[in-house]
Amino acid sequence: MAPAAPVALITGGSSGIGLALTKHLLSQSWHVFIADINPPPTSELADFPPSTHHFHITDVSSWGAQSSAFATCFSHFGRLDFCALNAGIDDRDDIFNSTSNELDLPPTKPNMKTFEVNLFGPYYGVKLAAHYMALNPPLMGKGEGRGGRIVITASDAGLWALPAVPQYTATKHAVVGLVRSLAPSAAQVGISINAVAPALTPSNLAPPGLLESYPKEALTKMETLLRAFDALGRFDEVEGEGWGGEEPNGQIVEGRGEDIYYKGEMARTAGKEVPKHLDGYVQRAQQEICNAESELRVKVEGVRWRKDDSRAAHRLHYIMLRMYIV
């Protein structure tokens, strides 16, 4: 018998953006497989039948763990239509502020967990999704079934440089390149691959006081981000023939305030296309950020202010957002 509902696998689906997307899809009669380190709060999913969602403990930086999650998802629900590769972490290493300045104390091996989670994780996920989406049976007896849609959670740090978090920035830039370069070959097998690029998104994960310190236009509302997922996932059209490989494909969609922007050579919002010629502006703004970073390295009560201090990083991110809002 053909599966009765479309199925989504969401990494990092137990909190923040991933949990919001999980609930969003469950409310549209999807089945959701949650792959995360920790389970979602029971209260968050209490309104949905237990048979419609399943949690599987998963470290996305591990090929074995992700492979197990995807296999379990397909075994449990019988198909895989949509994959949100959403799990991510911030920086775990520092370069220029961690030097010892002593010949006998060379640097230790850097912590590369950010790359393992934010870049290796999505790469593993795309490879696994491609395998299982190719095995999909027809949905409710309609169409050929094979194919699906993939959305990776990138970041505004994948579009602009954030000096406070270079590891995070590097991985998100890589994700953007991965999406754009994989799109043509994905379309050939009935799969679309896109990315959302949120700025700071209000959720229970934000440190106390942080959201209040940001200007409203610098935040990505959760409902705005979910609209971006809707635009890329086309969830209400899942039963249509060829749904998986249809446009949009290879797109990076930024959410800012209440608007979404397609970040290619053209930025689109509200149905209009406006050319964006910002190279010179971006370069000037990036230099201003570097200058601001240098100026902010001050002594506070006799202790040198460091980039890896959380409040310092938040402040630098705030400066960046103020500069890039256009």
Residues labelled catalytic: 168, 172
Cα 70 to Cα 33: distance, rounded to the nearest angstrom: 9
Tokens of 309: 């201090």
Contact status, residue 199 vs residue 206, Cβ threshold 8 Å? no
Cα 206 to Cα 188: distance, rounded to the nearest angstrom: 40
Pick from 201, 187, 43, 45: which is nearest to 33 by CA? 45
Distances (CA, A) of 69 to 14, 34, 105, 124, 273: 14, 9, 42, 11, 40
Cα 323 to Cα 118: distance, rounded to the nearest angstrom: 25
Pick from 176, 62, 40: which is nearest to 128 by CA? 62
62: Cβ contacts below 8 Å, ≥ 6 apart: none
What are residue 192's DSSP bridge partners?
Answer: 149
